[in-house]
Each structure stands twice: as structure tokens, then as C-alpha cells.
Homo-oligomer: A and B are copies of this chain.
Amino acid sequence: MDKNDCAIGVDLGGTKIEVALVDGTGSILKKLRLATMVTSGLEAIEREIVGAAQELMQAATPTPLGLGVGVAGQIDSLGARVRFAPNLNWHDAPLQADLHRQLQLPVALLNDVRAATWAEWLYGAGRGCADLICLFVGTGIGGSVVSGGRMLEGSSNSAGELGHMTVDLHGPTCHCGNQGCLEALAGGWAIARRAREAIAADPRAGACLNRLVDNQLDALSAEQVARAAHTGDPLAGQIVTEVAAALIAGSIGLINGFNPSRLILGGGVMEGLPELVKHIDQGVRKHALQIALENLEVLPAQLHNDAGVIGAAAFAMQQFSKKG
């Protein structure tokens, strides 16, 4: 990839769309942010992306090599169609062909977590590293694995569902139907569920959390649990300790299974509880296999909310670069 190249990256989620012009050093030259009009359907969202991309193309010299779209959903193995995107309510959407036809620019689709991993790998905490794992702990938990200098794709392009590794086979039910998934213990939704249950079981212990949401338990989020823990609330502190234990258990499995030299931790829950990076680092050093720890660094992700657009653009540059 040449540093003078550029591409357009799109981060397409259920509430917002970000579209950015990104150069070959991973820098954002210009970024636009739109609301996702989910109820208007596929074509309306495509029109939004096309409009924003055209605006950026006018600003771009040289012409962008292509457009990369990171989608919160499953992409088929050919990178042509969005098979399923629950937050967008899309099933089998021919996004690549549609955008290509309208923009006359090569288009590459990938899952949004993979896009963020590309960004961290090329321009963030994973720079120069051939074996890394990015684990993004937000409302849900997703991840992606680079092994021997290649991002793993799997047989149906779904490798890296790291939030759905069982870490507690007697643990709580996950949204996916399995029991004791990492996400069911440490994802944002699970943290909120755990807090609501704890408050219901012991309202006195839950008084501080309850106050934070004016007794509207439905409004309780992982962010508030983190805030309460940081002010010294014992119940919130206990929940954070449990979250750390689950993340350590999951990380041990990842380290022993993949033997990465970097474990990169990002996402909203990690940003709300940045001390978790140190706790996970200490925990895995106690309990993972010695040989698997040998080259390991545990690091926070660096690119935060920009990882999606940067990674989608980088993926497109890598796919469509003439030197590639």
C-alpha cells in the first residue's frame, strides 16, 4: 500500500453511518457522519452512502482506489452480499453490486469487527505484528484473529465469533441460545442484566445503581455500572470483578489456542473500564501456558471510534492496490 493512495471507508451500523476518505497512512482526510435510516430500507441507505462517497470523491486527489464497507452483520464468502444484518434488518442484500453500479468504484465488503481489526493491525496497536487477536467488548463481544500474517476467515467467512466461546458451561444464557458464552458474562448487555438482577435480589446493595437511573432499571447500562464502580459502590465493584474474571478466562483460551504476540482490547466496555486491560494482563500471566505467554503483550486498542472507517478503507486499498 502506498502512503499516497487513498480509499473511502464506510462504517455501517444500526444507528449511524460514517463515511471517510482515508489515505495510505491510515489518516482520515475527511469524514461525514449520517444517521442510519433503517426503516427506509436498503435502497435509502445505499443512497445515503453513495451521496456521502460522491462528496468525498470530489475532495479526493488522487481518485480513491475503492470503497470498503464494514457492516455490522454477516458477509458472504465472496464479499458480495450482506447475508444477515440484524440491526439493519437486511437479509441477503447485494450491497457490493449496488454500490459499485452507482459509484463506478471497486467495492469491498467486510464485517465491521474485521474492519476494526484491519485498522488496529495496520495503523493501531497491532502495527507490524503477524499474530494478534483483537477482542472488542461492547454491547456484544466480537473479535478477529490474525495468525501468521493473515486474518482468519473460516469456511463460511464467520471466523472470530470470540464472544461466543463458552467460558462457563453452567453460566447464564446468551442471546445466541448457548449457555455461558463470554458475551453472556462480559458483554455490555450482560453486565446490565447482571446488575438488574443483583438490584432486584438486594435493593439495599443496589441503592447507588438505582439512584443513577432514577429507579428506572430498564435504563441501566454497563456504562453506569462502570461509573458506580469507579465511585466505590461495592455491588458495581463486585460485578466488574466478575466481568474481569470472565474476560481473563476467555483471554486464556484465546492465548492458549492461537498463541498471539498481541492481545488488543477495545470496545465501549473496555473504554469505560480501562483498568481491565491491566487486570486481564495480570490474570492471563498467572494462568495461561508459559510458552503461549512468551511473546505476549496485552494492549488497549488505539483507534477507538475511527477504527471502523479506517479499517474498511485499508481493506479496500489492500484489495484494489495495483501493487498488491
A83: chain B residues within 8 A (beta carbon): 291
Q: A147-B154, A169-B249 are in contact. Are A162 and B291 (CB under 8 A)?
A: no
Centre residue among A158, A162, A179, A250 by max chain B CB count within 10 A: A158
Chain A positions 143 through 160: 1 when the CB is less than 8 Å from some CB of chain B, otherwise 0: 001011010111111111
Asked if A295 and B159 make an inter-chain contact with CB atoms under 8 angstroms apart, the answer reads no
Asked if A168 and B169 make an inter-chain contact with CB atoms under 8 angstroms apart, the answer reads yes
The closest CB in chain B to the CB of A162 belongs to: B257
Asked if A154 and B259 make an inter-chain contact with CB atoms under 8 angstroms apart, the answer reads yes
A160: chain B residues within 8 A (beta carbon): 257, 259
Chain A positions 169 through 187: 1 when the CB is less than 8 Å from some CB of chain B, otherwise 0: 1110000111110000000
A117: chain B residues within 8 A (beta carbon): none
The closest CB in chain B to the CB of A246 belongs to: B169
Asked if A152 and B288 make an inter-chain contact with CB atoms under 8 angstroms apart, the answer reads no
Q: At the interface, yes or no: A167 with Cβ under 8 Å from chain B?
A: yes
Q: At the interface, yes or no: A18 with Cβ under 8 Å from chain B?
A: no
The closest CB in chain B to the CB of A294 belongs to: B156
Which of B159, B179, B261 is close to A287, meaning CB atoms less than 8 Å apart? B179
Q: At the interface, yes or no: A258 with Cβ under 8 Å from chain B?
A: yes
Count identical subunits in the complex.
2
Which of B74, B178, B249, B291 is close to A166, meaning CB atoms less than 8 Å apart? B249
Asked if A292 and B154 make an inter-chain contact with CB atoms under 8 angstroms apart, the answer reads yes
Asked if B147 and A159 make an inter-chain contact with CB atoms under 8 angstroms apart, the answer reads yes
Minimum Cβ distance to chain B for residue A45 (Å): 22
Alpha-carbon distance A74/B157, docked complex (angstroms): 31
The closest CB in chain B to the CB of A171 belongs to: B169
Alpha-carbon distance A147/B149, docked complex (angstroms): 12
A168: chain B residues within 8 A (beta carbon): 167-170, 180
Asked if B156 and A249 make an inter-chain contact with CB atoms under 8 angstroms apart, the answer reads no
Minimum Cβ distance to chain B for residue A280 (Å): 13
Chain A positions 226 through 247: 1 when the CB is less than 8 Å from some CB of chain B, otherwise 0: 0000000000000000000110
Asked if A261 and B155 make an inter-chain contact with CB atoms under 8 angstroms apart, the answer reads yes
Asked if A155 and B130 make an inter-chain contact with CB atoms under 8 angstroms apart, the answer reads yes
Q: A246-B169, A258-B159, A287-B179 are in contact. Are A252 and B150 (CB under 8 A)?
A: no
Alpha-carbon distance A153/B178, docked complex (angstroms): 29
Alpha-carbon distance A260/B158, docked complex (angstroms): 9
Q: At the interface, yes or no: A165 with Cβ under 8 Å from chain B?
A: yes
Minimum Cβ distance to chain B for residue A287 (Å): 4
What are 12 A-B pairs at a CB distance below 8 A? Answer: A74-B291, A148-B152, A157-B259, A158-B291, A160-B257, A168-B168, A169-B249, A170-B170, A176-B287, A177-B287, A180-B249, A253-B253
Binding site for B on A (CB under 8 A): 74, 83-84, 130-131, 145, 147-148, 150, 152-162, 164-171, 176-180, 245-246, 249-250, 252-254, 256-261, 286-289, 291-292, 294-296
